[in-house]
Structures are given as structure tokens and as C-alpha cells.
Amino acid sequence: MKRNQLSVTDSRKKILELFMRSDGALAHADIEHHSGTEFDRVTIYRTLQTFVEKGIIHTIPTSDNSVRYALCKDECSEGHHHDDHVHFMCDGCGTTYCLDHVTVPAIALPQGFLASQTDVVISGKCDKCG
């Protein structure tokens, strides 16, 4: 957090620790239920937004129009996410994985179009549920 010019608060520290212990992406509700502390919804939301803005976590869209969050890799920075990888959502256990070794294919857009973000989400069964 200090590297990203953020003050280290108890809520930020506990939420970041939760991401570091997680095998997959987390939803807002996951953080509410597993943080071990009673943080109000607004504190969690603001912390997640700050972490996204600072390049600490990135967002993953879901089919039900909710959002999950996962840790960024070291090359992300404030306002510049470099998470061009595929995400996998397991239909069995509900876990969302970052498939860092699978890159998003290049897409040729029509002239005048400029992409700011590309999201590829694959759903199916993970190796634990398959």
C-alpha cells in the first residue's frame, strides 16, 4: 500500500490480506462474510474502488452483471492495468480464477475504434469440480 501512496488502515490491511489468502477472485459479499471483522458495506466498497484505481486489484465482470475482484500482478500501476489474461468461472464451486498464462487474443477493431479494456471470461468446471 505504501508503494501506491496509500495510508495503511486496519480495513485496507485486512481486505488486502483476504485477497492474498484467496485462491480465486472475491466478490464484495465474500469480503463482508470472510474478513473476520465487521466492516460496513461502504468501507468495503471504497477500499475496493481505491485498490482498483491504484492498480492493486482488477475487476472481473460476471454473467449476472456483478463484479469480482482479483489481485493484480506487479506490472499494474495507478490507472494502468495490464491484466490481459483470461478468467475462468467454475459453474460447480463458483470460484473465479485468473488464468495468467492464457492471454487475450488480439482483436482487429474497425478503423476509429480504440479499446480500453478487453474481458474474456470462460465458464465451465474447474479441475476440482470436473
- Kindly write down the DSSP assignment for every residue of 20-86, as one continuous string: HH-SS-EEHHHHHHHSSS---HHHHHHHHHHHHHTTSEEEEE-TTS-EEEEEPPTT-BTTB----EE
Domain ranges of the chain: 2-124
Residue 113 pLDDT grade (very low, low, confident, very high; cuts 50, 70, 90): very high
Averaged confidence pLDDT in the chain: 83
CB atoms within 10 A of CB 121: 14
pLDDT at 33: 82
- Rounded distance, CA 85 to CA 128, Å? 21
pLDDT at 91: 92
CB atoms within 10 A of CB 69: 24
pLDDT at 77: 55
Which residues make Cβ contacts (< 8 Å) with residue 63, sequence separation at least 6? 89, 121, 123
3.30.830.10, 3.90.245.10, 1.10.10.10, 3.40.50.2300: CATH of 2-124: 1.10.10.10
- Rounded distance, CA 12 to CA 45, Å? 11
Residue 34 pLDDT grade (very low, low, confident, very high; cuts 50, 70, 90): confident
